[in-house]
Structure 1
Amino acid sequence: MPDSPFSIPDSRLFSWPTRVYWEDTDAGGVVYHAQYLAFLERARTEWLRALGHGQELLRGSHDLVFAVRAMRIDFRKPARLDDALQVSVALRECRRASLVIDQAIERDGERLLDAEVRLAALDAGGFRPRAIPATLYQELQSLQLRSD
């Protein structure tokens, strides 16, 4: 992915540790490709929680959920059974009703995967597009790595 923010140390970057378990792998001990999506999802969820906006709180208090609209993944190298991984999250863009998140998975500083995740803000009841609440929007705007 061009201009990856993960090469720049920044307090706006979030990293979540995870380990590869047997259930994450195929018969050869390599992480099954779809399992990377779960690793990415967990890191985004913990990023929101660390900001004080857990997904259940967003749903209950703001009638808001974020849903993946599109994802681009570059698989660079495989993760294997028992690997300790770091899954990074960085907010690239915050619009009124959507986010663009850059994510990466690394093992011992070696990049295994890059992902660009586009999230849509939806009302929790009907799953229709909606604006991000003003206070959350302002907070997220301040976390953007750059303005395009």
Structure 2
Amino acid sequence: MKYEKTMSRCKGLPSRPKRTKYSHQFIEHLPDNLDDGVLYISVRYATAAHRCFCGCGREVVTPLHPTKWKLTFDGVTTSLHPSVGSWSLACKSHYWLQDGRIDWADMFTDEQIKAAQSRDLRDQVNYFAPPAIAPVTTAAEKPKKKSVSLVEKLLGWMGVKW
């Protein structure tokens, strides 16, 4: 296990070493017990899960979806985007998972958490909103085009004003 020498910044929890590396496993179904330091990925169910990397032991589930998280696999390592903010957990951990590395982010204030949650909700609403429908116009509402005779077209091509 690779740990950083500094201690965890988890709110309300005793200090513990922060993990700085993780491995991944592609699976079909999540196991009953998640191992520390492993990002489990179910492509079939478009879900990734792990035990919080702060060490609190809580399960963190990240749905893979255009409005949630995107997974990148380069053939060797995995990355999740955007960052993982465990706002509903007591630890309120916040980190990036990039190329098998855990990059710890600054803790969010309650106001920052609310703003991020509002942005996430807005993204979901916009994604799932029905497409805007162009208003339907009737033949009576459509402007009538001026009919142009063949002679007028020929004179127009020749640059002669009619």
* Range into which the TM-score falls when normalised by the shorter chain: under 0.3
Structure number with bigger Rg? 2
Query: Relative contact order (alpha carbons < 8 A, sep ≥ 6): 1 or 2 greater?
Result: 1
Q: Which has the higher strand share?
A: 1
Q: Which has the higher helix share?
A: 1
State TM-score, norm by structure 1: 0.24
